[in-house]
Structure 1
């Protein structure tokens, strides 16, 4: 284990030393902590908790988010899997005379550290947690810790499912249908419980027994409700699960590094492709599915529209449906959950769900079809208007948020009688916010190209997204206050966001006119 500890230590030391060579990264980190964390903590100390809601709403949100993460991990495990290792780990450790057991423990420890880093953005929600659920600063920080544990365990679930089902279609089918049946049973039980007894049904021990999602909920509720027995049992089950996964990998999958090697190579080539390395994208190992796709009734596309047609064909080949994809089931479950929660509390829970999903969208829109097209030469060679090429290459990524918004905000209309007009405006606003995220990506590519620091680009992406959202937020609040209507405020913000997107696409149209390949 000594060499593994040395690699961990040297990785941290080298990262700190490299900061000296990247002053822009240092400035970005400093601005990040100054702009976000300092005001957030200051607000968290003095925030008003007089209008706090039911703590069970927080449990419902966390349980739904856990199901979403676990579902995504199961889907990834059944297809491409995940890896705890980078290519540098592969080159340093996989070729060295070190026990595979020690290497696996090293990977788990490293992934746990990355889960904590990824979860730092949840610190922004401390003030909201205190204001909406009357939590203390320590309790809010504990929610962030449990969220980090959720991210880590999701990676563990993906790895063990991939190792168990790899190259065995029968096992894949068993795992897939078992998960779907379990998910439907959990949702049905929760719907029945909430409809008969209210939001207190989320604290049933049947819910706490749901694998991963229920265990983490028990760990969260055990502390917030001072139920020590529930907390101890939940922690013990989680530890036993992690140890069981490690034992499975060590005993039944001693050559797990072969699976990890493939996923590490794919992750490395994907990062290189994002930086502009065309050859890296060709090296990504994909499982080819020989499947006939019927004509999309669009004539195959012509000129710039051919990109939109090809993206639809790719989506249908991957998800079997252009409209209803793999993630649609999870989004629909979240929409049903919001409708049930709103039925026994208030319609404010739908607006809270809108805010949470809009915030999560900031991290999910990172890689779009346009980003992939910019790494290829075809988009530069088609003799068509640059504006049309940029618009059609982004169109499939623009349509998906509309579908996601419908799945999220229409179920409360049928479950709780949520106003249909309000629901449609929320769908429109949700889609417009995702269009702004796409616009921020376009601006970053137009200004910095593909040969820049990824950490700096990520920070600038968040910054440009906030800047592009500012006009809509300001005018939306202004019109909403003047006309005393929340709906008019949301509708105004939606229109401004769409106008901003069109302006950004028009200004950056030369992005697909001047090629930057070397």
Structure 2
């Protein structure tokens, strides 16, 4: 294990040494911790208990989030799989005379470190957890730790599913349909339980027995509710599961790294593509499926509009439907959950809106426009740069609008939430996603594709907050003046759409000259 420990130690030392050459990273880290610490200092040791929500709401949010993570990891395991290793690990570790068991342990330790880094943004939620659920700092930090465990264990689920089903279609089908049936049973149980017993359903034995998601929820409930028996059982089950996964990989998959090799190569080439190396795209190994797609027309697709038309065809080819995708079922389930919780208080609808807007900040990722900017076609079309940028971004706005309908329309039928407020929230949700796309465009306009991803992510976060500030200010102002929450959200939506159009106009030269990028 000595060589593996040396590689981990040397990687950490080299990262610290590189900080001397990147003062922007040091400034970014300092600003990050400043933004994290200031709310805690202003909040002090005491919190307002009069506006605190029940812990069952927190448990429902965590359980839904864990189902999403585990489900996404399971889907990845059935298709492309995941990898704990980078190409440098492949070159250094896989070719060394080290046992595969030690290499696996090395990969698990590195993945635990990545899970901590990925979850660092959750530190911003400590102030919210204290304010909304009257949690102490210790318990708030514990919630973040459970979230880190969720990220790590989800990756392990993806790895073991891929190793178990790779090359065996019968096993893939069995795992896929078993997971779908279990998910439907869990959702039906929660919906039925909330109708009859309210949010108390989340603390029933059946929920705690759900693989991974229920076990982690048991660890969370065990500490926050001082149920130490549940904590001990859930912790024991999680430890047993992790050890069982490692044992299975060691005993039945001694050459597991062969499964990881292709995924490591694909991940490496994908990162190179994001940095601007177009030749790396050809090295990504994909399963090609041929489908017969009927022609769909949106005004003929001429000039700049041809990009929107082509994006719609690509979306339909990939997911069979332009409007609804694989995530639509999840959004609908979340909408139903929000509607059930909102029976007691309509404020939970607004809380759901805030949470989904926050999650959307990290889900924008690579849009169709991002892909177009790596090709030469968009620069050669003889049309207005503003129109080209607008039409190339338009396909990324359609899905958020549909997701908003699935999220905020169910509360109207389930809890009697006002239809006007629901429509306004749908518009506002779509406008917030437009702001995220605008921030993405600004990042491309300033940095191109040849910058540190960590710095880009941090500055992208700051630009998103900056662009949302006018809408937040005008929304609060008009909401107070007219004593109407709906008017406040409507004004915020209009300001967001206006901000998006201004950003598109200012950055229109992004698709005018390819030499600049």
Could you state the TM-score of these two structures normalised by the residue count of structure 1? 0.97
1:146 matched to which residue of 2? 146
Alpha-carbon distance in 2 for matches of 1:319, 1:67:
21
How far has the Cα of 1:281 moved from its partner? 2.1
Matches within 5 A, 1:103-252: 103-252=103-252
Q: Distance in 1 between matches of 2:387 and 2:285?
A: 32
Tell me if the contact between 2:404 and 2:425 (Cα under 8 Å) persists in the aligned partners: yes
Where does residue 323 of structure 1 map in the other structure? 323
Does the 8 Å contact 1:82/1:263 carry over to 2?
yes
1:488–1:270 distance in 2 versus 1, CA, 3 Å:
same
For 1:431 and 1:253, how far apart are their aligned partners in 2?
46
Q: What is residue 96 of structure 1 aligned with on the other side? A: 96
Judge conservation of contact 1:186–1:207 (CA < 8 Å) in 2: yes
Decide whether aligned partners of structure 1 residues 483 and 277 sit closer, same or farther in structure 2, where only a CA change above 3 A counts: same
CA distance in 2, matches of 1:190, 1:37: 37
Match of 2:477 in 1: 478
Residues 191-246 of structure 1: CA deviation (Å, up to 9, x unaligned): 11111111111100011000111111101001111111100110111111111111
Q: Report deviation, 1:20.
A: 0.4
Determine the C-alpha separation between the residues in 2 that align with 1:318 and 1:173: 20
TM-aligned CA deviation for residue 364 of structure 1: 0.6
The equivalent residue for 1:3 is 3
1:258 is the counterpart of 2:234: no
Deviations 1:452-503 (A, max 9, x none): 2222111110111111111111111111111111111111000000010011
Matched, 1:270 2:260: no
Contact 1:44/1:130 (CA < 8 Å) preserved in 2?
no
**CA displacement, residues 134-165 of structure 1 (integer Å, 9 cap, x when unaligned):** 11111111111111111111111111112222
Distance 1:41 1:335, change over 3 A: farther
Secondary structure of 2:146 counterpart: helix
SS in structure 2 of the partner of residue 94 of structure 1: coil
Is contact 1:37–1:123 with CA below 8 Å preserved after alignment?
no
Report if aligned partners of 1:47, 1:127 keep a CA contact under 8 Å in 2.
no
Q: Distance in 2 between matches of 1:313 and 1:173?
A: 28
State the alpha-carbon separation in 2 of the partners of residues 480 and 17 from structure 1. Answer: 50
Conservation of the 8 A alpha-carbon contact between 1:342 and 1:412: yes
Deviations 1:163-188 (A, max 9, x none): 22222222222111111111110111
Counterpart Cα distance in 2 of 1:336 and 1:184: 13
User: Counterparts of 1:372 and 1:40 in 2: how far apart (Å)?
Assistant: 40
Distance 1:420 1:126 in 2: 33
1:419-434 correspondence runs (5 A): 419-434=418-433
Contact 1:405–1:427 (CA<8 Å) still a contact in 2? yes
Aligned counterparts of 1:248 and 1:315: Cα–Cα separation in 2: 38
List runs of 5+ in structure 2 lacking aligned partners.
none
- Structure 2 residue aligned with 1:455: 454
Aligned to 2:61: 61
Give 4+ residue runs of structure 1 displaced > 4 Å after superposition.
Answer: none
Q: Would the alpha carbon gap of residues 317 and 247 (structure 1) be closer, same or farther in structure 2, given more than 3 Å must change?
A: farther
- The answer to whether the 8 A contact 1:49-1:130 is kept is no
Question: What is the aligned partner in structure 1 of residue 287 from structure 2?
Answer: 287
Partner Cα distance (2:348, 2:299) in 1: 44
CA RMSD, 1 decimal? 1.4
Would the aligned equivalents of 1:41 and 1:127 in 2 still touch at CA under 8 Å? no
> Counterpart in 2 of 1:389?
388
- Residue aligning to 1:304: 304
Aligned partners of 1:310 and 1:66: how far apart in 2?
Answer: 35
Shift of 1:398: 1.0
1:7-42 CA-partner distances (Å, limit 9, x unpaired): 111111000000001111111111111123333354
Residue 465 of structure 1: aligned partner? 464
The runs of 5 or more residues in structure 1 that have no matched partner are none
Looking at structure 2, the residues matched to 431 and 507 of structure 1 have their Cα atoms a distance apart, in angstroms, of 21
Aligned partners of 2:380, 2:283: CA distance in 1, in Å? 23
1:44 Cα offset (Å):
5.5
CA distance in 1, matches of 2:33, 2:158: 32
Change (3 A) 1:143 1:41: farther
The change in CA–CA distance for 1:42 and 1:115 in structure 2 (over 3 A counts) is farther
Q: How many residues get paired?
A: 517
- Take 1:14 and 1:335, find their aligned partners in 2: how far apart are those partners? 46
